[in-house]
Amino acid sequence: MRAHKTDHAGFDRTLLEHLRLNQVREAATDALKTYGPEIYALLASIHRAEDDAADVFSLFCEQLWKGLPGFAGRSSFRTWAYTLAWHASSRMRQQQATRREVIISDSQFSSLAAAVRTSTGSHLRKERRNRLRELRESLPPEDQVLLVLRVERELDWKDLSRVMNPDLELDEDMLTREAARLRKRFQSVKERLRALINADAAET
């Protein structure tokens, strides 16, 4: 699902103004309405079981709710949100054996998260009839994220470097090196996906 066109810089200015005025609920609501569907779509492609996707999206929303007051605009909000989402996905996959339902602290925000999850999930169930999407979703989670965020979400390489390394504070030199590494991996992933497509076509 290609992300709708959003004025990302304008959104960030509005968000930061909400936070400056301590309007955290307004900021969180705008953030989830604007970016929630595309983030849930990404998580649902990685976590194919709907219960798993629901849990990791809830974990992302909880981290968003708790972390938003500390967002200072050092990266774009969208990059920061995808970093949270990838971190939540990594945590959930590491803790799969002890999966639990994640309870979001604020009930109104929790209701909005459920609405985003339900509406986006319905759309994705229809999209999964697409064979190319099915082949892409057979790739490892890291490769799926790299493809989606670069091709569909059009993140630049440095933002991708931040998202893919949620536990690290990368300086400019580290960002440059990581961006180069991701470019090489991206080419490899594209070649692997092309091979899957060719093999699938040969079988049909």
Asked whether residue 1 is assigned to any structural domain, the reply reads no
Measured CA to CA, the distance from residue 60 to residue 58 in angstroms comes to: 5
Q: Say yes or no to pLDDT of 1 above 50.
A: no
Lowest mean pLDDT among 52-56, 97-101, 172-176, 180-184: 97-101
Measured CA to CA, the distance from residue 123 to residue 120 in angstroms comes to: 5
**For 71-97, what is the mean pLDDT?**
90
Residues 6+ apart with CB under 8 A from 148: 42, 45
Average pLDDT in the chain: 87
Asked whether residue 55 is assigned to any structural domain, the reply reads yes
Asked whether residue 159 is assigned to any structural domain, the reply reads yes
pLDDT class for 78, splitting at 50, 70, 90? very high
Lowest mean pLDDT among 127-131, 133-137, 150-154, 163-167: 127-131
Measured CA to CA, the distance from residue 28 to residue 64 in angstroms comes to: 7
Asked whether residue 133 is assigned to any structural domain, the reply reads yes
SS3 25: helix
Measured CA to CA, the distance from residue 171 to residue 196 in angstroms comes to: 36
pLDDT at 126: 61
Is the entire prediction scored with pTM above 0.85?
A: no
Asked whether residue 3 is assigned to any structural domain, the reply reads no
Q: What is the pLDDT of residues 7-33, one digit of tens each?
A: 999 999 999 999 999 999 999 999 999
Asked whether residue 105 is assigned to any structural domain, the reply reads yes
Measured CA to CA, the distance from residue 61 to residue 84 in angstroms comes to: 9
Asked whether residue 127 is assigned to any structural domain, the reply reads yes
What's the domain range around 147?
8-203
Q: What is the pLDDT of residues 104-119, one digit of tens each?
A: 666 778 788 888 887 7
Q: What is the pLDDT of residues 157-181, one digit of tens each?
A: 999 999 999 988 899 999 999 999 9
Domain count, the chain: 1
pLDDT at 204: 62
Asked whether residue 2 is assigned to any structural domain, the reply reads no
Q: Which tokens belong to 81? A: 């949100």
pLDDT at 96: 62
